[in-house]
Amino acid sequence: MKVSTKALYGVLALADIALNSENGASVPAQDIAERQDVSKKYLEHILSMLRRAGYVRGRRGINGGYALAQDPGFITLYDVFSALDVSILEGMENNESRSTGWLREAANVCLWERINSFLVDFTKNMTLEDFIGECKKRAPSAWDMYVI
């Protein structure tokens, strides 16, 4: 499975918005870009795609930025990948055009199709909320401290 930067940055942007928006407040694209070390222009392209797919809302003006349009418990990684790069979840297989024999054909069925099935199932069952929870487990202990 190859994950494009578009899909990776999309998941990171959604997680960043969820983690950095208080009470649904908007998170500026510039702030997300800086925290995630992504080009603001590329990030805005990704956020535009996520907005069209219904996962974020954009807000203009002085308090502008992006907010989640849905609860993170209802957005799956499959949804995000599908909105940004459908090729990620396409079946993996040996794409040789010539007949390669029964063993190679069997490998396509019992290996590559099963691996792809597991990946699709995993992404359909992993929500943004689950992803954020897993990330928090690996975060430095001082990550959620509030400093005045």
Of 112, 24, 25, 115, which is closest to residue 61 (Cα–Cα)?
Answer: 25
Helix (H, G, I), strand (E, B) or coil at 100: coil
Residue 93 lies in a domain: yes
Q: What's the pLDDT tens digit per position in 14-30?
A: 999 999 988 778 999 99
Tokens read off for 27 = 């998170």
**Degrees (nearest 5) of the Cα angle 132, 65, 137?**
15
What is the CATH classification number for the domain harbouring 68? 1.10.10.10
pLDDT confidence band for 140 (50 / 70 / 90): confident
Residue 74 lies in a domain: yes
At residue 75, the pLDDT reads 97
Residue 120 lies in a domain: yes
Residue 18 lies in a domain: yes
Residue 101 lies in a domain: yes
At residue 94, the pLDDT reads 45
Which residues span the domain enclosing 119? 5-137
Residue 143 lies in a domain: no
- pTM metric for this prediction: 0.81
Q: Write phi, then psi, for 57 (nearest 5 degrees).
A: -115, 140
Residue whose structure tokens are 């510039």: 30
At residue 124, the pLDDT reads 94
Residue 146 lies in a domain: no
**Degrees (nearest 5) of the Cα angle 3, 5, 75?**
70
pLDDT confidence band for 89 (50 / 70 / 90): low
Half-sphere exposure (CA, 13 Å, Cβ side) for 62? Answer: 0
- How many domains is the chain built from? 1
Q: What's the pLDDT tens digit per position in 32-73?
A: 999 999 999 999 999 999 999 999 999 888 888 999 999 999
At residue 93, the pLDDT reads 44
Residue 142 lies in a domain: no
Q: What's the pLDDT tens digit per position in 96-135?
A: 545 668 888 888 778 888 888 898 899 999 999 999 999 9
